[in-house]
Amino acid sequence: MQMLRVLLVTLLLALAACGGGGQPATSPGNEYGASGGDTPESGDGVDRSRLARELYFYNWSDYIDPAILEQFEAEYGVRVIVDTYDSNEDMLAKIRAGNSGYDIVVPTDYAVQIMIAEGLAAPLDKSLLTNLVHLDPNLLDQYFDKGNVYSIPYMYGITGIAYNTKFFPDGIDSWAAIFEPEQIAEFRGKISMLDDARETPGAALRYIGQSLNSTDPAALERVKEILLAQKPYLAAYNSSDVNRKLASEEYVLAHSWSGSAMQARNGLGDEFSGNPDIAFVIPKEGGMIWMDNLMILKDSPNAYTAHVFMNFLMRPKVSAQNTEYIGYLTPNKDALDLLSDEIKELYQQGFAPDEEMYKRLEWAVRNEGTTAFDDLWTEIKGE
């Protein structure tokens, strides 16, 4: 945690200064070429003869620049087919049955733990991931995958409140702005909370001064009361297109990931235009910090190709391009200087944490006790 804190301070200082198809393989081990005989055909060390024709990528919505997929296909002849999900739980349900057809998934920190514990992930062959040298070491070796045996960082971010400054000209500094009925009544139907069993109860826990990992029955009962009182004023529990609805002003206030708020502010390529009135804040009571990671499924039929794609994504220029597009925080230390001045400025405005903000951020943990959040969320959604 202290090392991550140092990274976040360093980031702000730096900003201020500037289903699967493909070639058949009997198993991932065979595709790695365990019997030897690699004959690289280019200076990047990739053996084109071992690449699949297609790679299946199961990812969050709006979480990769489509141009990067085109660039990868142009360079390697591999078509990357992307399906999307809106929560870790949806992704886990899909892959637990086995033979999902996907090669790579993007679980958040605690979901990495679950996948490892349940034997759903393939160990990485780091000899194929030469671009690991570009990742900041302070973001490696995290609690959910010590030694990065199964995962590598993709993006990280923070969770707070996105809001439209036309409607909140004085700004927002507390979760009260989204939880207290008397404050949200005039915006009924123009507010959303994330559709997430950890994020939404976690925000309410921070509002009442508790850890977002607290499973104290009295605290969770109070959270239930808060969320049920708020629910009639919501447009939806939404984790999929908050960015678009903030940009169009269908929403004026939203529980949001920092990158989704950035997309609402800047737009998303040719998908939709941004809204310069969108701002983002971590309330004074605190919020969540998290990391999404790339993992290869144990039953992936295209594990060699998956490694090549992961290595491609870790190129500094590619990582910077992806970061510019999706608006989250890159773990690639050599990509930071390549970011535009506009992105750097927005990071300093609160879309990225500084040292003071970091003190108010907390990681979600997963243990036997935190299954209480699943039960709580079922109750909230059911009423």
pLDDT at residue 173, rounded to an integer: 97
pLDDT, one tens digit per residue, over 147-203 is 999 999 999 999 999 999 999 999 999 999 999 999 999 999 999 999 999 999 999
Q: What percent of the chain has pLDDT over 90?
A: 84
What Rg do the C-alpha atoms of the chain give, in angstroms?
A: 21
Please state the φ and ψ torsions of residue 84, each to the nearest 5 degrees: -125, 155
Closest CA to 256 of 328, 152, 207: 328
Please state the φ and ψ torsions of residue 2, each to the nearest 5 degrees: -65, -40
pLDDT at residue 21, rounded to an integer: 38
Lowest-confidence pick of 126-140, 237-251, 359-373: 359-373
Lowest-confidence pick of 117-126, 362-371, 373-382: 362-371
Please state the φ and ψ torsions of residue 173, each to the nearest 5 degrees: -135, 0
Q: Which residue has the higher pLDDT, 1 or 137?
A: 137
150: tokens are 């199964």
| 37 — pLDDT class (breaks 50, 70, 90) | very low
Mean pLDDT throughout 209-217? 97
Mean pLDDT throughout 273-295? 97
Mean pLDDT throughout 318-323? 98
pLDDT at residue 365, rounded to an integer: 87
Task: Find out whether 89 and 7 touch, Cβ atoms under 8 Å.
Answer: no
pLDDT at residue 13, rounded to an integer: 43
pLDDT, one tens digit per residue, over 54-70 is 999 999 999 999 999 99
pLDDT at residue 42, rounded to an integer: 56
Q: Per-residue pLDDT for 97 more than 80?
A: yes
| 44 — pLDDT class (breaks 50, 70, 90) | confident
Q: Whole-number mean pLDDT of the chain?
A: 90
Q: Are strands 151-164 and 278-281 parallel, antiparallel or unpaired?
A: antiparallel
Strand partners, 59: 84
Report the first-to-last Cα separation within the chain, whole angstroms: 38
Task: Find out whether 5 and 337 touch, Cβ atoms under 8 Å.
Answer: no
pLDDT at residue 252, rounded to an integer: 98
Q: Per-residue pLDDT for 19 more than 80?
A: no
DSSP code per residue over 362-376:
E-----GGGGHHHHH
pLDDT at residue 383, rounded to an integer: 87
Which amino acid would we find at residue 20? G
User: The pTM is what?
Assistant: 0.84
235: tokens are 């447009």
| 27 — pLDDT class (breaks 50, 70, 90) | very low
Mean pLDDT throughout 33-45? 48
Closest CA to 152 of 120, 117, 105: 105
Domains and CATH numbers, the chain: 2-35+44-156+291-345 (3.40.190.10), 157-289+353-382 (3.40.190.10)
**Rounded CA separation 164/162 (Å):** 7
pLDDT, one tens digit per residue, over 228-282 is 999 999 999 999 999 999 999 999 999 999 999 999 999 998 899 999 999 999 9
